[in-house]
Structure formats: structure tokens, C-alpha cells
Amino acid sequence: MTRETNRGFDVESLIRGVSSSNGIVCVLGSMNADYTVTTERLPLPGETVPGGPIALLPGGKSGNQAASAARIGANVRMFGALGKDENADFLAGKLMEAGVDVSHVARLEGASGSTLITVDAAGENTIVYSAGSNALLSPSYIDSVQCDLTEGAVLGLCLESPMDAVVEAATICHSAGMTVLLNDSPFTASLPTDLIEACDVLLVNEHEITQFLGAEKLAGVDTDWHEISYRMAEIGFEREIITLGSAGSVVIDSGEIEHVDPVTVKAIDMTGCGDAYMGAILAGLVAGYNLGDSAHMASAVSAFAATGRGAQSSYGSGDQIIDALMGGFSA
């Protein structure tokens, strides 16, 4: 079954409903200090181009996802590792400002994670990631926070953390009855069997799904999504969301296919928009929404993020996103 829907009129109620949920979103993974510079265009290999002032902004895929969910009203706990440097205090402080509980985050010797980001005039970016303390996340840490982690209803994971820690968290939380949402990014084609079995929902973009399946470039909305659904089910994924950039997204839920229209904006900076989307999906799942409704809400949340600079610094509150949506994002 395929459904083509445009439920923009529902998004306000979906966003407002997030804060009424008593469930907890748990996010485990990376937190990075983003050193960001803007340029007229991205440099070619070996080329030097002039840039503007360097800005230090909070980031890291998992930290971004936690901040996005918390900004729109979800009850969020962050799990991961920071260093014992000034960036650690900066990152923890920014997450707390967003409403995220960081009391379970470990502080380890050494530097926190960081990224070097270049953004061009069209909002496109390049990112170089230095793991820092994120690389020290271990199964023993997961075991030490197990009781607090499994109090959640939903777990969000990405792959900026060591795979053994990700697998441990997914396995424990899935066994505890939590919904495990995996963002396969940075993309890894050969996922451990234990992680696939513990994953309830997979989130990937159009490029990642083709790498996953060894397929040719997708035909956007006109792709044979039933074939994609069948092939993903053979791998072990029954439920997935595939983001298609300006073409919106596609939700596959146990064989049912739904295309979700994009929310069109004039993009300033695309940094962290995918993480904003993921955070909104987590918030939707903890509020009891189905994947389709969660994806419609996520389209608006990520569109708002594209209208500001940086990752977490561009994320809006529920009221800000609703106001922008009702105004056609003209502000």
C-alpha cells in the first residue's frame, strides 16, 4: 500500500503534543565542538579560499539529536563521554540550555570531540570529524548506566561512537522493551547482526540506502519503494525512514509506504538538519506517534533548522517552529 499525503495542517498539533508525553527519550553517542567558517564556495582539493570569522558552536550528531528533541518539548537524557577541557563544559552547558539532562554523561581524561565545518553561500557544507572522548565510549560505560538508560521509552543511536558500545546499548534497550532508532551515519554498510536484530527503526538518507543495497541512484519519489521495502526486510529491517532532501522523505512501515512532502524554505545552512530531523522522530515516537506522523513533524523541525546557522544553535522551540510554519517560513 502506498499513500501520498500532505498533512501540514496537523503539524502544529503534533508539535504541541510532544510536551504532554511522560516518556523519556534516551540518546547515546557523540558530542562535538563545531568550529565553523563560512565561505563563498567550498574549496577544491589543494585550494585555499577566504572565509569569514570562525565560530565555535555545539554539535555532534547525538548531541544535536538530543537538543532537537528537547527543544520541541521531549524529556531527553543524554548518554556519552566528554573530555576534561573547556569544550566539555561548553557542550554540556549548551545541552542543558536546550533542556537535555546531561547528568549521566561521563567526563574522561583528554579532549572532547570536535569538528571542522566549512559552509558555502548556498548552505552546503563539508565536515571533518575528530572523535576525541567520543572514541572512548565503551560497553562498560553502557553497563554502568544501564538502569538509567532503560528507564527510557525510546533510544536514539548513530555511528559516531565505537560499534561495540552502540551494539551493547541497542541490545540492552531492545531487550528492555524500548524502541531503538538507528541513524546509520556516518554510513556503515556491514552492520553487526546483533545491531540489526535490536534495531526497531532505521533512518538513512537517499545516498545511504543505495549504498546499503548496492543499488543505482534512486529515482526519488518514483522509486519502486515496495522493492526497497522487500530488500530491506531481507536484511532484517521492517521499518525505515529514507530522507530524500528537497523531495521530502519516504516512510516504510512493515510493507506500507508513505511519501512525506518536504517543507520548503530558503536554506542558509544545512549543518545539523538531518540531526534535527532525527531528534523530531525520537520526540514523535516517545509521544506515541506513528512513523508517518513523526516524519511530517520532522520535516517542519528540520526545515526550521535550515534557516539558521550552525546545528544546535539553529534549532527552534515548538512555538518558534509553529509560528514559522503558520507564516509560511517567510520570517
Give catalytic residue positions: 275
| Locus of grid cell 525512514 | 241
Residue 74: which residues within 8 A CB-CB, separation 6 or more? 18, 19, 21, 25, 279, 282, 283, 286, 287
Q: Can you give the three-state secondary structure of the chain, one letter per residue?
A: CEEEECCHHHHHHHHHHHCCCCCEEEEECCCEEEEEEEECCCCCCCCCCCECCCEEEEECHHHHHHHHHHHCCCEEEEECEECCCHHHHHHHHHHHHHCEECCCCEECCCCCEEEEEEECCCCCEEEEEECHHHHHCCHHHHHHCHHHHCCCCEEEECCCCCHHHHHHHHHHHHHCCCEEEEECCCCCCCCCHHHHHHCCEEEEEHHHHHHHHCCCCCCHHHCCHHHHHHHHHHHCCCEEEEECHHHCEEEEECCEEEEECCCCCCCCCCCCHHHHHHHHHHHHHHCCCCHHHHHHHHHHHHHHHCCCCCCHHHCCCHHHHHHHHHCCCCC
Residue 213: which residues within 8 A CB-CB, separation 6 or more? 228, 231, 232
